[in-house]
Structure 1
Amino acid sequence: MTTRSRYLLLLGLRWLPVGLMIPVIVLLPLERGLSIAQVGAVAAIQGFTVLFLELPTGGLSDAVGRRPVLLIAGVVNLAAIVLWTVADSVPMFALVYLLQGVYRALDSGPLEAWYVDSALAEDPEADIEAGLSHSGVVLGLAIAGGALLSGGLVWLGPLGWGPLGSVSALTVPVLVALVLSLLGTVALALLMSEDRPARGLAGLAASVRGVPAAIGGALMLVRRSRVVFALILVELFWSFGMVTFEKLMPVRLSEVMGDPGAAAALLGPVNSVAWLASAAGAALVPLLARRLGPAWTSVALKIVQALTIVAMGLLGGPAGVIAGFLLCYAMHGAANPVHAGLLHRQAEGAYRASLISLNSMVGQPGFAIGAIVLTAVAGQAGTPAAIVTGAVVLGLAAPLYLLRPKKEFREQSPSGISGSLAL
């Protein structure tokens, strides 16, 4: 099995349980007695945990190795899902989200960094963008498939058998996610190989002491490279704008339909189709990148995505809102692998996971600020105005992709023709 095949298989196993959990992640705590305000409060714990741990865990991955960090993450995730199956109070759900935050921080970056390092070690001219675009396809299909499977499991109703006795319909997808997460962790142990010498406890201690150096190396890349700094700023603006289609779209759909219940029922299949659209965008983007180059492709995708968000906010009727939403997700799925490829081209192998974590970490405050600002705008000026505002901020990221390094360097294009990478 090739490195790319192993990477895509492990990625699919990582995100399929997420798709199963998405449709019930709010409804299950409500069923067990939490209020909507309490659900929001405990869910925020995950975001703050990721924010504080993202960069240190990225440094840990660079210092200790991708495989051990991912295996630790898998164990933490299993503990969180086990607790999900029985949690019935605010403190228990708070612990669930704390563990999920630790898992997300540990899991963010190492698998992708392992794939890129392994692919470039096998072939320095490897087309990593193609592999990353394939990963976007797999991610979208896994989440969409998991969400559809979750809906089917809930529709079948509660389980009245087994060692747990009667299990509610909303808990069934969580149990299936637990089994698939266990399978994914075992697959990591079997399929992920890493060439790092065993050095005993002393070597492990030395690696852990290297975490600050790995973090410092990633920060140094940002300080000395205006291209890396620009890419990090893109992530900040992008995350701000993501609030429009992740948080405000359901509100907008409810407004144009005039029936919150009908809008909620429609959101399930619409979200599944959106992830399929994201997968389609990721599958098609290599064709565009070969013609325009990664930088200009990123500019075009950001501008078009901003326009689809404007459409989502201004078009009348459910059909217009949903059409804008689906096109937005297609652009989102296409943009992710190109942005990741540009970031990887600027990263040094020793600090690769740290830089990915830094990029991800910037997204946390970006999204949080966007949520605060745009919901305030929605309250004062209406949801369409808030959505358009978010679209404008997201679109402002587009020119940052054109920032060139002080010294332009050359690389082999996927076609084998040497050319400059203008960023």
Structure 2
Amino acid sequence: MSTLTVAQIRHRFLVLHGLRWLPVGLLIPVFILLMQERGLTLTQIGLAVGAQGVVVLALELPTGGFADVLGRKPVLVVANVVGLASLALLLVADSLALLATVWALQGVFRALDSGPLESWYVDATLAADPDAAYEKGLGQAGTVLGLCMAAGALLSGGLVALGPVGPVSALTTPIVVAVGLQAVALAGLLTLLAEQRPAAGAGALRSSLRQAPRMVGEAFGLLRRSRVLLALVAVELFWGFGMVTFEGLLPIRLAEVVGGADRAAALLGPASTAAWLASAGGAALTPLLIRWLGAAFGAALLRIVQGITVVGMGLLAGPVGVLIAFVACYAVHGAANPLHMGLLHRQVDGPYRTSVISVNSMAAMPAAALGGVLLGYVGDRAGVSVAMLVGAVVLAVAAPLYLPAWRADRRTGVPVGGADPVVAVGSAADVPAVGVAADHGPGAADAKKVGRR
């Protein structure tokens, strides 16, 4: 890892990040239609997809600890193998039980995959140059994610338009290609991700299994000791709740303004591609936002702006206005995620980095589930527009939670996006260093986040 330059590390990270999301772009446009073609109802599909959330909620934190103790590459390899198996099973899944198994495996994949690649990139970059500003790569990762999702969606539509290929139906063809791309992603991971770690064996594996819960406990301990970190993770609660507006309610709102679900579906295909491209463009603006506004202030401002775009989706009367607000919302989303994740990374040192990312990622999941229930209830009782306005307020009120990071930066006088001084919290032998200064995630990263996304 130390023999690579900062630029080489960033290039490898971006390639691997793109390979991670390209199969997802192929899957999203055809998944529900394919399952309906195979005779499953929307209720059955919803129940099956719910298996992913249950598995992720159970495994997100332990798997983050495994990655920090055992190594990022082994965990990512296992994740990609599981992801490949789930897509292969999707080729033949034609029952609720099989589809639930597909999404349970996807849950294992996501839990293992959430964080290690991004953590490797940050740690490898700092090992090559302790003063390197890694926010550039996190912002570029958001751009790559948006471009790959858009490219995958376009490729998926083109494959369906070509029609069936032999015994493979038109809707199944994108899944076949996604399986192949997932295999390419696995090969790329084995080839490009260079990690220095102790020699692994049965003893090392047993040790990692014992240490992982401690790593997770220490990650939560950091939240108790760092107001900055606690506030940043709390942002995810509001973010997860509010994302229901543009991920779940927008199609219903669009159907209202165009006069039917079929017309809305026809518009959502190209609109989603445009939205992901806008997200990529927003992520590309990350260096400029850091330079002009600072990461903490910029992230806070974007929370408010995103709330305004959701207000536009809820109140604008025509489909053009609603879709413009939708695309603008994704542009803001793409810009905000790298700023948030950069802020998060600067609060924790290497050994606990993936565990903290997992805590941050997990915070959004119960909030999104709660948002889905509560905003759905409001939508049923008072209308989708009112529900979207409630979600917009929740997104915007998260802005003050960036104040602790902004104040920390003001106290230390460290330029945002530069190298931060680090102070030890608690025992130096047992507790990782926590940064007190400034300042970033479909999704850097989620690398996650991404995601969801």
Asked if 1:81 is matched to 2:75, the reply is no
Deviation string 1:320-363 (CA, Å, 9 cap, x unpaired) is 10011000000000000000000000012110000001111111
Q: What does residue 357 of structure 2 align with? A: 356
Instruction: Map 1:144-155 onto structure 2 (within 5 A).
Output: 144-155=150-161
Q: What does residue 232 of structure 2 align with? A: 231
Q: CA deviation at 1:409?
A: 4.2
Secondary structure at the aligned position of 2:127 is classed as helix
Q: What does residue 32 of structure 1 align with? A: 38
Give % identity: 55
Conserved? CA contact 2:408–2:437, under 8 Å:
no
Instruction: Map 1:4-19 onto structure 2 (within 5 A).
Output: 4-19=10-25
Q: Label 1:68 to 1:415 Cα distance change in 2 as closer, same or farther (>3 A).
A: closer
Deviation string 1:58-114 (CA, Å, 9 cap, x unpaired) is 011011000000000011011101100011111000100100000000000000000
Conserved? CA contact 2:290–2:417, under 8 Å:
no
For normalisation by structure 2, the TM-score amounts to: 0.90
Q: What does residue 200 of structure 1 align with? A: 201
Instruction: Map 1:184-263 onto structure 2 (within 5 A).
Output: 184-263=185-264
Q: CA deviation at 1:265?
A: 1.0
For normalisation by structure 1, the TM-score amounts to: 0.96
Q: What does residue 430 of structure 2 align with? A: none
Instruction: Pick from 58, 63, 66 the counterpart of residue 52 of structure 1.
Output: 58
Conserved? CA contact 1:129–1:286, under 8 Å:
yes
Amino acid at match of 1:65: G
Secondary structure at the aligned position of 1:261 is classed as helix
Alpha-carbon distance between aligned partners in 2 of 1:362 and 1:399, rounded to the nearest angstrom: 18
Conserved? CA contact 1:4–1:131, under 8 Å:
yes
Q: Label 1:378 to 1:368 Cα distance change in 2 as closer, same or farther (>3 A).
A: same
Conserved? CA contact 1:125–1:412, under 8 Å:
no
Q: What does residue 295 of structure 1 align with? A: 296
Instruction: Pick from 99, 116, 120 the counterpart of residue 114 of structure 1.
Output: 120
Q: CA deviation at 1:410?
A: 5.4
Q: CA deviation at 1:199?
A: 4.1
Alpha-carbon distance between aligned partners in 1 of 2:223 and 2:437, rounded to the nearest angstrom: 18
Alpha-carbon distance between aligned partners in 2 of 1:83 and 1:336, rounded to the nearest angstrom: 32
Q: Identify unmatched segments of 5+ residues in structure 1.
A: 161-165
Q: Label 1:219 to 1:169 Cα distance change in 2 as closer, same or farther (>3 A).
A: same
Q: CA deviation at 1:249?
A: 0.3
Amino acid at match of 1:264: A
Conserved? CA contact 1:378–1:386, under 8 Å:
yes
Conserved? CA contact 1:377–1:385, under 8 Å:
yes
Give the length in aligned residue pairs: 417
Secondary structure at the aligned position of 1:26 is classed as helix
Q: Label 1:30 to 1:416 Cα distance change in 2 as closer, same or farther (>3 A).
A: closer
Deviation string 1:350-398 (CA, Å, 9 cap, x unpaired) is 1000000111111110100000000100011101100000000010100
Q: Label 1:247 to 1:211 Cα distance change in 2 as closer, same or farther (>3 A).
A: same
Amino acid at match of 2:308: L
Q: CA deviation at 1:414?
A: 5.1
**More displaced, 215-224 or 241-250?**
215-224
Alpha-carbon distance between aligned partners in 1 of 2:361 and 2:161, rounded to the nearest angstrom: 35
Instruction: Map 1:293-332 onto structure 2 (within 5 A).
Output: 293-332=294-333
Asked if 1:64 is matched to 2:70, the reply is yes
Alpha-carbon distance between aligned partners in 1 of 2:221 and 2:289, rounded to the nearest angstrom: 32
Q: CA deviation at 1:285?
A: 2.3
Q: CA deviation at 1:417?
A: 11
Q: CA deviation at 1:28?
A: 1.2
Conserved? CA contact 1:33–1:88, under 8 Å:
yes
Q: What does residue 163 of structure 1 align with? A: none
Q: CA deviation at 1:115?
A: 0.2
Alpha-carbon distance between aligned partners in 1 of 2:165 and 2:373, rounded to the nearest angstrom: 40
Conserved? CA contact 1:402–1:422, under 8 Å:
no
Q: Identify unmatched segments of 5+ residues in structure 2.
A: 1-6, 422-435, 440-453
Alpha-carbon distance between aligned partners in 2 of 1:70 and 1:360, rounded to the nearest angstrom: 17
Q: CA deviation at 1:27?
A: 1.2
Q: What does residue 41 of structure 1 align with? A: 47
Conserved? CA contact 1:57–1:105, under 8 Å:
yes
Alpha-carbon distance between aligned partners in 2 of 1:18 and 1:376, rounded to the nearest angstrom: 30
Q: What does residue 443 of structure 2 align with? A: none
Amino acid at match of 2:382: A
Alpha-carbon distance between aligned partners in 1 of 2:72 and 2:356, rounded to the nearest angstrom: 14
Q: What does residue 92 of structure 1 align with? A: 98
Amino acid at match of 1:184: A
Q: CA deviation at 1:217?
A: 1.5
Alpha-carbon distance between aligned partners in 1 of 2:341 and 2:125, rounded to the nearest angstrom: 15
Alpha-carbon distance between aligned partners in 2 of 1:200 and 1:178, rounded to the nearest angstrom: 31
Q: CA deviation at 1:283?
A: 0.3
Q: CA deviation at 1:286?
A: 1.4
Q: What does residue 271 of structure 1 align with? A: 272
Question: Which consecutive aligned stretches of 4+ in structure 1 deviate over 6 angstroms post-superposition?
Answer: 415-418
Q: CA deviation at 1:200?
A: 2.4
Amino acid at match of 1:255: E
Alpha-carbon distance between aligned partners in 2 of 1:316 and 1:421, rounded to the nearest angstrom: 44
Alpha-carbon distance between aligned partners in 1 of 2:386 and 2:417, rounded to the nearest angstrom: 42
Conserved? CA contact 1:159–1:172, under 8 Å:
yes
Asked if 1:381 is matched to 2:382, the reply is yes
Deviation string 1:138-158 (CA, Å, 9 cap, x unpaired) is 000000000000000011111
Alpha-carbon distance between aligned partners in 1 of 2:42 and 2:125, rounded to the nearest angstrom: 45
Amino acid at match of 1:266: L
Amino acid at match of 1:54: E
Alpha-carbon distance between aligned partners in 2 of 1:224 and 1:413, rounded to the nearest angstrom: 22
Q: What does residue 168 of structure 1 align with? A: 169
Root-mean-square deviation (CA, aligned residues, Å) is 1.6
The structure carrying a bigger helix percent of its residues is: 1
